[in-house]
Amino acid sequence: SIRGLLREMAALIEVVVEVECSQTELGDNIGLVGGAGSIGDWNPARAARLDGASFPIWRATISLEVGRSVEYKYVILKQNGGATWEACDGNRVRTVSDVAETWKDGKFGEKGIATSAVALAGSSNPVVAECTSADPRGGTVDKGADTSAAAAPSELLLNIHCDETAPGDVVAIAGSWDWKGAPLALDGSTYPVWRHRLNVDGRKRIEYKFLVLKKDGTQVWEPMDGNRVLEGTDLDAKERDLGKLRFAPPSRSSQKDHKAGRQSKNGASPPSHVEGNNGNVIVGADRTIYGKVSLDYGTIEQRMAKRMDQPTNLQGDYDEQLHNRARNGQRASLHADVPSLEQALRSRAVPPSEAGQPPWQGLPPTTRIEEDSAQVFAEIVALEGQGTITLADRFDTALRILEGAAEGSAVPWTVLVWLRFSQARQLTWQRKRNTKPAHLSSAAQSLSELISARWKDRGGERLVWRLLLSCVPRGSRSDDGQAIRDYILVIMQKYQLKKRKGDFMEQWHQKLHNNTTPDDIHICEAYLQFLRSDGSLALFYEHLEGHGITRERLQTFERPILQEPVFFPSIKNGLINEFQHYLEILKNVHAGADLEKCLDAAGGLDGNLRGILEAVNAESGAGEHRLLPVLGGIAEARAGLARGGVGATRDGLYLDLALEAQARLLAERLGSHIDVRSAALAVTLLFEGLSLSIEASELRAAASDLVAMLGREGTHESMRASAAAARVRGSLAGVADVFVKLQPRAETLGAALRQATPEALPEAWAVSIFSEELARGGPGFAVSLLLSTYEKQLRKILGAEAWQMVSVTDRRLGKLVVVPEMRGEDVLDGATVLLTEKLSGEEDPPEGAVAVLTPDAVDVLSHVAVRARTMGIFLATCFDADVWESVRQFKGQHVSVSAKAGAVMVEVAAEAAGGADTAATSAGLAGKKVTVPRPAPSEELWVQEDAISACKAAGAKSHNLVALRNALPDWIQIPQSAVVPYGVLDRVLRSPENATAARRYQEISAELSGSPAAADARLQEIRKLIHGLQPPAQLMPALQAAVEAHGASAGDARWWEALTAVWASSWNDRAYHACRRAGIQPSDVAMAVLVQRIVPAEYSFVVHTRHPTGDPSELYAEIVLGLGEVLVGNYAGRALAFAAPRDGSAAPRVTCLPSKGVAMFGSGLIFRSDSNAEDLEDFAGAGLFDSITARETSERVLRYAGEQLVDDAAFREKLLKGIASLSMAVEKAAGGGPQDIEGCYAGGKYFVVQTRPQA
């Protein structure tokens, strides 16, 4: 029509509408309906749907004609197809502006703007005055009719009383106005009276009938012959009360009519109406990440029936029909493809700054249990050693201990170890005393409530409180505890089970009556398996043993179960039904993180969140093709819990623990054959969950790196993904370290308990694997399973090997020894190939090591790598978990290690180490003695840069920098240098203020020049002594003035502590042991100190101008963000690495992108070691001694998404070319030999911090 054409040509503008409504129920939506096509032309079925993501605020963006006056109303679109209009006089009205705006309409039903009380002339929009439910047919005006003078339709208010509905059910009406259409929902706001305004305009007779729309999607019609009728004067009334609506079980014949699809006697056709509503359980479910979330979950009993997929013997045909409907009805489902799940992860990713936050917090203490928990330790051991004990005693004692534990104390960690032993049945649950189930249930609830409150109140300690909660059952203060005693008797009496002494049921009843424990859950489950399998004892015992309950354990209960269950075919189904209910009672008391139980207990969940949770629960046994959507549902649900207040409640925490456990089970079922995109998604979903379980900024940042790479393809993107995966691998190692820190505490407590308890528990083997089992049962283990698959796929895409060569030598022979971490002070027994699970930058390879292999990432230019190459030790990193495990299989055997075609070959050696091939069984220069000339001490306190070249008491580091300054081009900067020369420490020791310290210094240094048995203790003492030296009054003014003249400011006030710390580092453990192995006596080390201003580095780099492990015609460099200590100290993760032709004939080639989790930043002065034991040809002294800043440095947790070094190709290429040019310029200025260069980039300028001949 012309009117329609003009409307299409009119100018449109987008308007944001916003209304507050908290009156919706599960699955409801809010719609905007009014006099415009984009808002449905007053038809609720075509309403503009609002988004409830910011519940209770609902928003939508709609297109409207500029200049038009629009009348409208909001309506609740019910999940069953009905509509509830906002109850306000007249319609809302707005004039559409030509400027985009937001209509903030206040609360649903409360108009805050001008409205029309009557229909406006020329308007086709009906006024919906004070209506709470509208008939979408009777309330819709024919758009083609001229309604300029339309009046409101005649309405009859029907009131019906119905109190037989369950929560979520709705009373509805259907009638002759449209029998085939969807029934219209009644307004239940005045429950139990339900109301509906019926349009009777122009009608002489109306037939109708009531029904209940069940929340499971089914319909129950009122049981009456024929239909209700309104005619004549009935239609003239304004309101009618229709009495009470009753429902009764249908007769067998009516069921048959229904099954046969026949029309009912009342004239309505229930089957057709049921079909019309199927699948319409949720309206507007597109607010979730899933296209549809069906909430057909029903009652607890119905859900259990669906999960078990077993028939239940219920009384009568009607109950059987209900059960079958629940069991066979539409199941909850999660529909989401990989791109949708990726987008959901991106939308959940929160990129807050991690500045000032440590990578990890709330970690286990490193102190000994006797030091930090002595009183609690003694109390626990005394309790467990008593003649009688029950689980309730243990929970009561733990409650009292934890109530008195101060924030930040180690006590909760000690209690965690204790309760973990109990949970694993490594402490008896009952010894020579009975416990009332109600007491046990109440004790468990009190303890779990305290733990939950502490988790909420002590944000820095949440990890330990979460772990504690996982060890404690939920408990209850309701009648559930007593019901454990009572209901088993009800079952036995109801089914006339004989209470003969020695019968299985009677023996189990005696245990339940006197000492119920969490074992009873699994006994009940096993008995249900027994019943469903028609008496299979094999399945009965298989289920028990799968949960750690052997026949021996059954027989050794204080109330032993000696007999096997007996199968009664005639009452099978009845017993299944009863014991299914009894299982719920047991779980109410004993279960903690049981998903279904947690879901039933959790309150305060919004509709979408509960819908996803129900869907996850329904798909707990999902097939392999459904695992990713279910994992996505778990991730969405856990994120929703974290956002909402319910996640901080006890029920919310238990629910989150249950979801974590469910995700772990599903992850274990994902096969290694999934494609790389699916693997990336699975790893990211699981790691996101880990970052929720363990609140650490490093985990959150690593998760954001993973999310940033989802769905991206290409070589550079695959390299970025590989770096993100490597960071995750490092983060998982950090998580494992959390549990490893608990092992000494477990061993101490375990040994004491084993000696005190009559059962000699916990067993030694259980104690020895305590931390390993804790880690394997935690959320990190599921991530690691899939991460290996993902990393393999990325390496295949990139053509990368499973090994990274760090120090390549000829073939090495030795005995393969596996250690948790490498310790430089160890002395190995003969030639050893060392497999170390952990490798930091603080240690040297120990004496006797000929090769070191590790799964830890090692920077090729870190100090530990340089020292390995200098010592002739083979060093490589393995990135493939399967390859690593295959190498571990050689433990204890003599093997050969060699490099071949980019891989490390580890093979059983034909000859034993120590044979004829001495080159293969010695660590290069490890046995060679190094001579260190000791310079004469200087009489100067401070040497400025222009005098360093003449100072013989300064080290090679200072001399090299001075020589470089005049030989480098102007664009390469060198920080101004000064030296505190060798000899100043001696003068400080000779001062009167330090006379006592000097005597002790001489005694200790003399001892350490020999071979003291307690070297480590003596080293610690002498370092402490040097740290504590007093500034001599005679020397201090001159030193203070020199430091200030060099640029010190108020922020460098701790410069004296920095200076003494560098002096003390000549006695640190790694330096002492490395020097002794090379024949250098501690007294030969002369420590000068180089003083420089810190360059506020944006990026720091180390370059070897001749590739240390690759093509010698190339240079090799590594780059990190911030200061270089993160690189040379081999902090966790890898630096950006690149190689470039030495002659500049080609652009730099990136071989690895960065994955380090932190960057270090600082300013002010730095005091660097500059001893005579560094930069030697035959001794790798680099990094043995310390460099200390006069101000505290800060660490920042990194997020690489958006970092220009990673994302900006042009910037990266310019930076790398600049570093390559700098490197060759430094080599030329240093005389042409290969150089080991440390430098940085800041403010567009390049700096050289130091250089030395390349080892």
Active site residues: 863
Q: Rounded distance, CA 449 to CA 446, Å?
A: 5
Among 638, 664, 648, residue whose Cα is nearest residue 466:
648
Residues in the chain: 1255
The dihedral of CA 1202, 1205, 1211, 1213: what is its sign? negative
Q: Rounded distance, CA 937 to CA 1172, Å?
A: 12
For 1101, the token pair is 């780099």
Question: C-alpha dihedral over 322, 326, 329, 333, to 10 degrees?
Answer: 160
Three-class secondary structure assignment of 965-1022: HCCCCCCEECCCEEEECCCHHHHHHHCHHHHHHHHHHHHHHHHHHCCCCCHHHHHHHH
Q: Rounded distance, CA 696 to CA 462, Å?
A: 10
Question: C-alpha dihedral over 644, 645, 649, 652, to 10 degrees?
Answer: -20
Among 1117, 1069, 1147, residue whose Cα is nearest residue 1241:
1117
Question: C-alpha dihedral over 1048, 1049, 1053, 1058, to 10 degrees?
Answer: -30
Q: Rounded distance, CA 1255 to CA 1253, Å?
A: 6
Among 181, 194, 55, residue whose Cα is nearest residue 133:
194
Cβ–Cβ under 8 Å, residues 299 and 256: no
Longest dimension (CA), the chain: 124
Residues 6+ apart with CB under 8 A from 819: 834, 835, 836, 837
Q: Rounded distance, CA 691 to CA 1107, Å?
A: 39
Residue 339: count of CB within 10 angstroms of its CB: 12
Per the listing, tokens 């009975």 go with 434
For 954, the token pair is 């300064």
By DSSP bridging, strand 903-908 and strand 894-900 are antiparallel
DSSP code per residue over 1165-1198: EEEEEEETTSSBTTB--TTTS-EEESS--EEEE-
Cβ–Cβ under 8 Å, residues 1121 and 1099: yes
For 282, the token pair is 């949720």
Q: Rounded distance, CA 1099 to CA 1239, Å?
A: 9
Q: Rounded distance, CA 1097 to CA 992, Å?
A: 41
> Alpha carbon 1254 to chain centroid distance?
43
Q: Rounded distance, CA 953 to CA 955, Å?
A: 7
Residues 6+ apart with CB under 8 A from 99: 13
The dihedral of CA 657, 663, 666, 670: what is its sign? negative
Run of H or E including 1151: strand 1149-1152
SS3 content of the chain, % helix, strand, coil (to 5): 40, 20, 40
399 three-class SS: helix
Residues 6+ apart with CB under 8 A from 392: 435, 439, 440, 443
Cβ–Cβ under 8 Å, residues 507 and 560: yes
